[in-house]
Structures are given as C-alpha cells and as structure tokens.
Structure 1
Amino acid sequence: MELVFIRHGQGYHTLNLPESLQLRDSPLTDQGIKQAISLRETFPLTNKDIIVISPIRRTLQTAFIWSKGMECKKIVNPLVSPRMFPQKTKWSTLPCDKMMDSKLIEKEFPDFTLEGNWSTELWSEGINTISEEGFSILGEKFIEWCKQQNTETIYIVSHDGTITSYRQLLSGQRLSRKDFPEETGWIKIKI
C-alpha cells in the first residue's frame, strides 16, 4: 500500500508572517486554488480512490477543488490535523491551526465523511500539541486504519508539520523543518 501525503494549497495564514498566523479559519488564496486545481493533473482521481483530509478549511478546500466531480471517498480525520514540528511542549495551538467544528464541516462539505471513531477531545484539540509518545501511539493507529481500507493508494491532504511527523514515524529518521513539503507538494510512502 502507498500513502501519498499532500500539503494543502497556499492559505491566507501564510501571506503576512508572523501576524497572519493569528487568522482563524484561513481559506485558500487565489494561488492556493490554482495549486489545488493543478493536483487534478498530478494525481487524477478515480471513484476507487480515498482522500483523507485534515479538519481545517484550507485542507478541506484543497481536497474539494481537487476532487470536484469525482465520486471518490473523502474522509475527514483529526489524526491528520495540524501538528507543530518540531514539538514544543510549552507552545499552544495557533489560531490558524484550530480545527473546524464538525457540524460546520458537515454543512459546508456534505460529500465528506467524518471518521468518527476518535475521542471528542481529539476532534476538538487534534494532534498539534500532543507529546511525541502520544503521537506515535495515535500515528500507528492511523496507519493501521489506512491498511484496513482495502485500497492500494490513500491520499492524505494535510500540513507540513503533520506530514513530516508521519514521515519521521514511518522512516525512523530524524527530520527537520528543512524537510517540509512546499504548498501542494507531496511525499509517497510505501507501508
């Protein structure tokens, strides 16, 4: 099986750093929309494909635009929500990385399914500030969940820190912020 981690398109939260990190519920910019459209050529989807999406507006929009008109499975899962990298135990989640309310996701993205087998706390807080040990446990559960999906490829639309955390977990290598993918950049990992 192959996991294809894709970073979301450009969001408004990156346009005026560090002030723009204080934006909550930041959507894609016009450039981010173009990047999401370009994923159609890079990764043409079929109705057999599965996309797992972080519960953040910019990732949901990226997946929505990329998969428009395609009847593939679109699953929102908090185990691919934003994660700070490297982990700083005393830091808190930035406003730009606060997850959308599940009811709002269901209303605005009715074709997406929320993966509901996770705790209420995970749905509200995500994986951003959990310890490395806690992430390893949940990350392994997510990988097992992926293996149970009975498909050859799962696309995961997520965030630079989250993607790098999963890469580090799966490879056993120490990575750094230099290993972050660019906007709509992608990493393939066989599991």
Structure 2
Amino acid sequence: MELVFTRHGQGEHTLNPPESLHMTDPGLTEAGILQAKSLRKQFPLSETELIISSPLRRTLQTTQIWSEGTDCTKMVSPLVSPRMFPQNPEWETLPCDTLLPREKVTEEFNDFFIEEQSGEWWSKGINKISEQAFARIAKKFLNRCKQTGKKRIYIVSHDGTITSYRQYITGEKLSRSDFPKETVDLKISF
C-alpha cells in the first residue's frame, strides 16, 4: 500500500507569524486555493480513491478543492490532525491548530465521512501526546488504512504530523528541516 501525504495549501495563519498563528479556524489564502487546484493535475482522483483529511478548515478546504468533480471517498480523522514536531511539553497548542468539532465538520463539509473509530481523539487531538502514545495511534491508524484494501490512500495533513508519521514508518530520525512545503507530496510505501 502507498500512502501519499500532502500538506494543506497555504493557510491564512502563515501570512504574518507569530501573530497570525493565534488565529482561530484559519482557511486557505488565495495562493492556497490555487495550490489545492494544482493537485487536480498532479494527482487526478477517481471514485475508487480515498482521501483522509485532518479536521481543520485549511485541510478540509484543500481536500474539497482537490476532489471537486470526482466521487472519491473523503474521510475526516483526528489521527492526522496537527502534531508538534519535535515534541516539547513546554509548548502549547496554538489556536490555529484547534480541531473543528465533528458537528461543524458535518454541517460545513457534509460530503466527508467522519471516522468514528477515533472518537476520543476529537476532543484532545494528537498535538501534544507522547511519542509512545503517538506510536500506538500510528500503528492503529496504519492498520485501518491497510484494512481498506486500497492500493493508494491520500492524506491531507500538517507538516509536523506528516513528519511524525514519516519518522514512525521509516524509522529515520527527522527534524523540522524535513518538513514538507505546502501541497508537496510525500509517498511512503509499507
């Protein structure tokens, strides 16, 4: 199975850091919208494919724009929500990384299927959990991906989360310099 991790398009929260990181529920910028549209050419989707999105507006918008005009399956999972990388217990979760409640996702992005098996993570997310807890979650998430029977699954997520999964899957020691850029893909087979 191949996982294709894609970082969301440029978000409003990246325009004027560090102040803009304190925005709540930032969406895509105009550049982010264009980046999401470019994914259609880079990775054309069909009705047989699955995209798993983080439950934040910018990732949901990226997925929605990318999949426009197709009947692919779109799922939302808190197991690919923002994650600090590397972990530091002194750091706090930023407002820009707060998960949308399930009800809001259902209301505003009603063509997405909500992954219910990870219900407990909707309230706390994976941003600050220990490496050991993340390893347990990553193992469960990847097993669920395998159980879909799909040869390729697209995951729209965040730089720290993508890097955390990449480090878990490959066993490589990574750093922030390994973060993917906006809408850049990272393919991992396992």
Q: TM-score, normalization: structure 1?
A: 0.98
For residues 90 and 18 of structure 1, the distance between their equivalents in structure 2, rounded to whole angstroms, comes to: 17
SS at match of 1:75: strand
- Aligned positions of 1:15-164 closer than 5 A: 15-120=15-120, 122-164=121-163
For residues 43 and 76 of structure 2, the distance between their equivalents in structure 1, rounded to whole angstroms, comes to: 19
- RMSD over aligned CA atoms reads 0.6
For residues 77 and 140 of structure 1, the distance between their equivalents in structure 2, rounded to whole angstroms, comes to: 14
The structural deviation recorded for 1:90 is 2.2
The structural deviation recorded for 1:125 is 1.5
Runs of 4+ in 1 over 6 A off after TM superposition: none
Alignment identity in percent? 57
The structural deviation recorded for 1:167 is 0.3
The structural deviation recorded for 1:88 is 0.7
For residues 74 and 119 of structure 2, the distance between their equivalents in structure 1, rounded to whole angstroms, comes to: 20
For residues 185 and 84 of structure 2, the distance between their equivalents in structure 1, rounded to whole angstroms, comes to: 18
Number of residue pairs matched? 190
For residues 24 and 111 of structure 2, the distance between their equivalents in structure 1, rounded to whole angstroms, comes to: 23
For residues 31 and 179 of structure 1, the distance between their equivalents in structure 2, rounded to whole angstroms, comes to: 22
* Residue in structure 2 matched with residue 9 of structure 1 by the alignment: 9
The structural deviation recorded for 1:124 is 1.4
For residues 14 and 85 of structure 1, the distance between their equivalents in structure 2, rounded to whole angstroms, comes to: 17
The structural deviation recorded for 1:14 is 0.3
Cα offsets for 1:45-68 (capped at 9, x unmatched): 000000000000000000000001
Are positions 1:190 and 2:189 aligned together? yes
In structure 2, the gaps of 5 or more residues are none
The structural deviation recorded for 1:69 is 1.4
The structural deviation recorded for 1:119 is 3.4
* Residue in structure 1 matched with residue 172 of structure 2 by the alignment: 173
For residues 94 and 16 of structure 2, the distance between their equivalents in structure 1, rounded to whole angstroms, comes to: 15
For residues 123 and 68 of structure 2, the distance between their equivalents in structure 1, rounded to whole angstroms, comes to: 27
The structural deviation recorded for 1:39 is 0.1
